[in-house]
Each structure stands twice: as C-alpha cells, then as structure tokens.
Structure 1
Amino acid sequence: MKKYIAEFIGTFWLVLGGCGSAVFAAFIAAPGGGNTNEFGLGYLGVALAFGLTVFTGAYALGHISGGHFNPAVSFGLWMGKRFPGSQLAPYIGAQVLGAIVASLFIFIVAQGGPNFSLDGSNPLATNGFGDHSPQGYGFLAALLIEFVLTFIFLIVILGVTDKTAPAGFAPAAIGLALTLIHLISIPITNTSVNPARSTGVALFCGNPALIGQLWLFWLAPIAGALLAGFVYHNVLEDLSRPEPEAE
C-alpha cells in the first residue's frame, strides 16, 4: 500500500507542478486585461516545471515505489523485466487517481482567478492535435511525436536505473529528459508522454472533443514505452554489463 500511496502522491505532484504552472503562470494577463506581460513562464518555464516535479518526486518517493508517476513508465519497466505485471493495475490506478485529484485541485483554484476560462485550444493544459494542438499540428505528427519521445524517455529511464549505471543520478537525468521532451513537443501536442496526466485534466476541461482525442495519449505513449522496454532488455542491457574477467 505504501507503494500505491507514493505513486498517487508523485503523480499528484507531477500534474500539479507541471499542469498547474501551465494554467497559473505560463502566461499572465497584464493589468486591466489585454496582452500578457513579461512575468509569464512561457514554454521554457512549463518544461522546467514538469522536469522539476519528476526530479524532486523521484528523489523523495523513488525509494518507496520506484517513482513511476506515469502508466507508460510502468508498462515500459514491465516490458523491460524491471517491474512485475501483477502490480500494473494498482500502480496505474493510483497514478490516474493522483492525476484526477490534482486536476480537480487546479480547476478549483483556477476558478478563483479573474481571467480564468476554458476557451482556447488547450484549456486546463490539456493535450490534443489538430484544432487542439497549440500550433495546429495534425494527427500523424501528434502520434509520431508522442510515440518517439516516450520511447526515448523510457530508454533514458531504463539506462540510468541499470544496475551498472552511476548510482544516485537517475532522478536528475530523468527530470532533465522530461524537460527536454517538453521543450520539443509543447507546440505539437502540449506534451503528454503520460496517459494519467492527459486523463486528469481532460476530465475537467469542459470540452468533449478533447476527451475524444484522449485515446491517442494512451496508445502512443504506452506503445513507445513497450517498444523501449523490449529494445533495452533484448538489445542494450547485455551490452551495458561489463565482460567477466578472464580466469
């Protein structure tokens, strides 16, 4: 149960820190309305916020649950023979619940602001493609970027947590990788690579079309993660181990 609570808290923190920064601080309205002012975080700040949530959450909770905070990560670690399949369902349940509670919290707090609305392409930091892509990218672009970036994310996770990797640096590397992923893909899909994160905010965005696109943000990240787990375990993992000493 401690593991599931840790996954709930870690995913709550990831969604609150990442999506919360996008909703509250990415673009701050100038006094009296009108254009945004220079104090908004912008894409760079939101990307850093997502990376920092994983960086801090993994150091705080990784020794309890492994610090997945993401159903795609759990699937990738399972495929990579690092995680038992019997724990997939409760881990994913805890992650999705943490994301939903964090999204509800963001929604409630955001309503206290005078400029809050659920208009625009990505209300409440949702993910989408076509009309719901921040820069209008289509379905194929969204599918490819989510698949490939989740694949790379899991390769990084599996690599830095390998028993032969330098100890103690995994959360930093994983957090920086997630920051880079957001720098690449916020304009394309608003960056998911995490089905729980996508699900939580979609439930409160008030737009059925975004909920209708949610399937892509489950399919592509999980498929990319499964491929990464397979590739790392079957192709890369043996190469990362030192050769036995000669007799």
Structure 2
Amino acid sequence: MQKSLVAEFLGTFWLVFGGCGSAVLAAAFPELGIGFVGVAFAFGLTVLTMAFAVGGISGGHFNPAVSVGLAVAGKFPAGRVVPYIAVQVIGAIVAAALLYAVASGKAGFELGGFSANGYGEHSPGGYSLLSALVIEVVLTSFFIFIILGSTSSRVPAGFAPIAIGLALTPIHLISIPVTNTSVNPSLSTGQALFVGGWALQQLWLFWVAPLIGGVLGGLVWKMTGEVASTDATS
C-alpha cells in the first residue's frame, strides 16, 4: 500500500507539473505555437509516461475521479479510495507550489488564472455553469470508460497507457475553451489554492462534476463493457 501511495503522489505531481506547467510557462510564448494543442498533448503525455512508469505499482490513477470510477466498476478496492485521493490531492498541491515558485521567478510576474478551472466569466470562452457541468461530467465518464476498456483482458496487455494518454488529449482540446479542463479534482484543487478568490469559490464544481462522471463511467462499463467481455469469452 505504501508504495502504491508514493506512486500515486509522483504520478499526480507529474501530471500537474507537466500539464499545468505547459499552460503557465510554455504557453506564455505564443510565437512558439504550443497553444491549446501543445497543452493538450502535454497533459496526455504526462499521463502516458507515468502510467508506464508506475502503473504497475498503483494502477496509475492520478485522479480522484479515476479511483472512484474504478471502485464503482468493481476494479479497485473501495477501502483504498480515500487514501488514494488524499495523496493525489497532496501531489497536486506540491506540484502547484513548485510551479508557482518557478513562475514567480520571472520579472513582472502576474499570477493571472494560473491554469485554474472556472465557469462563467472565469471560463476561457465565457461558458456557463451548465455548460461546464455537462462537459466535465461527459468527458470524465468517457475517460473512465476508456481506462476500463483499455485495461480489460480483451485488449493486448501493455498498451493501455497509450490509449489513456491519447484520450486525455482530445478531452483537453474539447474542454479547455469551456472550463480550462479539469476532469481531475486534485488538479483543480492545487491550482485553485494559489489563485484563491473565484477559483476557490468555483472549485466545488470541479469536484462534483468529475466525481459524477467517474461514477457514470464505472456504471456504464459494468452494464456494457463487462457484458461484452463475458460474451467474447463464452
């Protein structure tokens, strides 16, 4: 258990530091062309690389919604959900703190949005609370479904991190304009703690929506994916 928790801490740290770091630091140079696409790939690659690195130790969740979704699907012990979520949140906060330390070292530094998630006037595209809720629930549920499907016994072993990392890329491409993309409550928490104010006030949505999505993804897998797996082997 201890090794699994350390792995989850490291994986979540890398996800936040690499993904949000690309948004906060690299995207500040638009002439280099990173933009939404670069940030989306950065998030996908962080998950892909750490899923390969420590997935065999902890399962490579790095996200409270993933832990909840897998538990709902019966693929993860319910008793381990809370410890996993705790270290995921800690990993995200530590990553955000170090990212802040780096970013604030630039002359004239202004915190700005610091890659925090928001809706309404704090949505990158000005999208409403309802839009944010829908996009976060739908995309998180599909993310959980893809994780469960790519790690099932029907799929050749060893390729799941690729599918999972690539899935996170279009998820970001779709939802960055709407919420700046959460689908991960720990990530949202770390960034919101440093932005404060509106980010903390709106943080509830980026716990509620991804967790609902996680539950839905796990339930849909139990109703469809497991049935298909049973049929294929019968």
- Which TM class, normalised by the smaller chain length? over 0.9
Amino acid at match of 2:15: L
Alignment gaps of 5+ in structure 1: 29-36
Indicate yes or no: 2:18 matched with 1:6: no
Instruction: Identify the range of structure 1 (153-162 vs 226-235) with the bigger mean alpha-carbon deviation.
Output: 226-235
Amino acid at match of 1:231: V
Tell me the matched-pair count. 232
Q: TM-score scaled by structure 1?
A: 0.92
User: Helix, strand or coil for the counterpart of 2:31?
Assistant: coil
Whichever of the two has the greater Rg, that structure is 1
Q: TM-score scaled by structure 2?
A: 0.97
Question: Which of 199, 217, 222 matches 1:210?
Answer: 199
User: How far did residue 111 of structure 1 move?
Assistant: 0.5
User: How far did residue 115 of structure 1 move?
Assistant: 4.2
User: How far did residue 228 of structure 1 move?
Assistant: 1.0
Alignment gaps of 5+ in structure 2: none
Question: Which of 77, 80, 98 matches 1:105?
Answer: 98
Indicate yes or no: 2:81 matched with 1:88: yes
Amino acid at match of 1:198: S
In 2, the alpha carbon distance for the partners of 1:55 and 1:116 equals 31
Which residue is equivalent to 1:201?
Answer: 191
Which residue is equivalent to 2:173?
Answer: 183
Which residue is equivalent to 1:63?
Answer: 56
Q: Which structure is higher in helix share?
A: 2
Indicate yes or no: 2:40 matched with 1:47: yes
Which residue is equivalent to 1:232?
Answer: 221
In 1, the alpha carbon distance for the partners of 2:154 and 2:11 equals 26
In 2, the alpha carbon distance for the partners of 1:115 and 1:25 equals 16
Amino acid at match of 1:22: A
User: Helix, strand or coil for the counterpart of 1:112?
Assistant: coil
Indicate yes or no: 2:110 matched with 1:117: yes
User: How far did residue 236 of structure 1 move?
Assistant: 2.3
User: Helix, strand or coil for the counterpart of 1:81?
Assistant: coil
In 1, the alpha carbon distance for the partners of 2:175 and 2:41 equals 13
User: Helix, strand or coil for the counterpart of 1:134?
Assistant: coil
Alpha carbons 1:27, 1:41 under 8 Å: kept: no
Question: Which of 106, 129, 138 matches 2:119?
Answer: 129
- Superposed structure 1 runs of 4+ greater than 6 Å apart: none
Which residue is equivalent to 1:31?
Answer: none
In 2, the alpha carbon distance for the partners of 1:190 and 1:17 equals 15
